[in-house]
């Protein structure tokens, strides 16, 4: 029996609708949540991401500001810009779009963002809040993973969870969120012995390693829930055939565009798993939805208001 497909776009739409209602309520109370996105230079991929973030803000009624310093901006100039945004009361969230130009000290710039406005959830103070289960801002993609599980009625408490990947952006925070949800969590990486064997113990398997189709059927326990965080582009026809032979719709798109997206999970895993997120349309749509949710959360936390006890809030 094929796996249940966990529709991230549908869940993201639910969250956006909830956030939109909260924006209306807060705005009626004289508090319109505001997000500033800083995009340095002209990285085409970053420009696409920023456009989608600003568009989502506008659709939901946020105050949104897109700030585009030139490519030549120095670390000091960007620190001054971030300092100005920290002081502006109408700005609740600050997002510095990565990557920054090579000559800029990215870590210093990100660290300068006030923790209470750090809607990416990357500041060490927010990492500490997550680790110690205090209210704070949680990285958007990991928070989205938890929302998919909760809203799909997949039990976290008591589950054996395996996270493949230990990045600061996804692997570590998603592991902490699962631990906070009372799962028993194993974090795997390139030095893990018998990786397939460890993964086969998982009731919940989160793949966030950044390698196309790495998680194959022999990594997965029958009936397990598989969350694929990976987003990899395939352009080689032979590689396309390896993963998508017989998929007429995907074949047509590949012929037209010369590329397709694949996660870290081999598509054949859908024949073994109990539930699985697709790529695209799984975890991806949740990232921007949770960014919007984090901006609401920041607006409330900054003013001493209570926030709902969901994964990100």
Distance CA 229, CA 60 (A): 25
Q: Is the peptide bond before 280 cis (omega within 30 degrees of 0)?
A: yes
Catalytic residue among 53, 117, 172, 221: 53
Whether the CB-CB separation of 312 and 181 falls below 8 Å is answered with no
Q: Give the chain's end-to-end CA distance (angstroms, integer).
A: 35
Distance CA 295, CA 34 (A): 7
Distance CA 186, CA 42 (A): 39
Distance CA 46, CA 41 (A): 9
For residue 6, give every residue at least 6 positions away whose Cβ sits within 8 Å of its Cβ, in sequence order, or none.
Answer: 148, 152, 225, 227, 275, 276, 277, 278, 282
Q: Cβ of 259: how many Cβ atoms within 10 Å? A: 12
Distance CA 11, CA 289 (A): 9
The answer to whether 7 is a known catalytic residue is no
The answer to whether 236 is a known catalytic residue is no
Task: Compute CA 164 distance to the chain's CA centroid, rounded to the nearest angstrom.
Answer: 15
The answer to whether 247 is a known catalytic residue is no
Catalytic residue among 92, 97, 266, 297: 97
Sheet (strand 63-67) strand order: 63-67, 34-38, 93-96
Angle 95-97-101 from CA coordinates, rounded to 5°: 135
Catalytic residue among 92, 120, 228, 266: 120
For residue 40, give every residue at least 6 positions away whose Cβ sits within 8 Å of its Cβ, in sequence order, or none.
Answer: 68, 69, 70, 71, 73, 78, 97, 100, 101, 104
| Residues with catalytic roles | 53, 97, 120
């Amino acid at each position: 029996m094929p796996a249940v497909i966990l529709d991230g776009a549908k869940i993201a739409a639910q969250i956006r609708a909830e956030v939109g209602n909260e924006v209306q309520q807060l705005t009626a109370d004289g508090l319109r949540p505001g997000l500033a996105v800083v995009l340095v230079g002209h990285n085409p991929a970053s420009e696409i991401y920023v456009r989608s973030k600003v568009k989502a803000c506008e659709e939901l009624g946020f105050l949104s500001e897109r700030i585009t310093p030139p490519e030549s901006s120095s670390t000091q100039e960007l620190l001054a810009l971030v300092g100005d945004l920290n002081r502006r009361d109408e700005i609740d969230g600050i997002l510095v779009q990565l990557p920054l130009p090579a000559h800029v000290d990215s870590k210093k710039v990100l660290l300068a963002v006030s923790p209470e406005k750090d809607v990416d959830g990357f500041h060490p103070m927010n990492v500490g809040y997550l680790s110690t289960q205090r209210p704070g801002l949680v990285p958007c993609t990991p928070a989205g993973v938890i929302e998919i599980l909760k809203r799909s009625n997949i039990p976290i408490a008591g589950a054996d969870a395996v996270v493949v990947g230990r990045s600061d952006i996804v692997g570590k925070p998603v592991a902490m969120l699962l631990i906070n949800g009372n799962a028993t969590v194993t974090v795997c990486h390139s030095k893990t012995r018998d990786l397939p064997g460890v993964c086969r113990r998982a009731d919940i398997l989160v793949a966030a390693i950044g390698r196309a189709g790495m998680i194959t059927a022999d990594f997965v326990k029958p009936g397990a829930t598989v969350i694929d965080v990976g987003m990899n582009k395939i352009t080689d026809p032979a590689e396309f055939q390896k993963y998508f032979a017989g998929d007429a719709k995907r074949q047509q798109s590949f012929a037209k565009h010369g590329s397709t997206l694949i996660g870290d999970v081999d598509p054949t895993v859908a024949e073994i798993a109990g539930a699985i997120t697709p790529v695209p349309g799984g975890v991806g749509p949740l990232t921007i939805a949770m960014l919007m949710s984090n901006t609401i959360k920041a607006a409330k936390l900054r003013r001493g208001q209570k926030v709902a006890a969901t994964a990100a809030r």
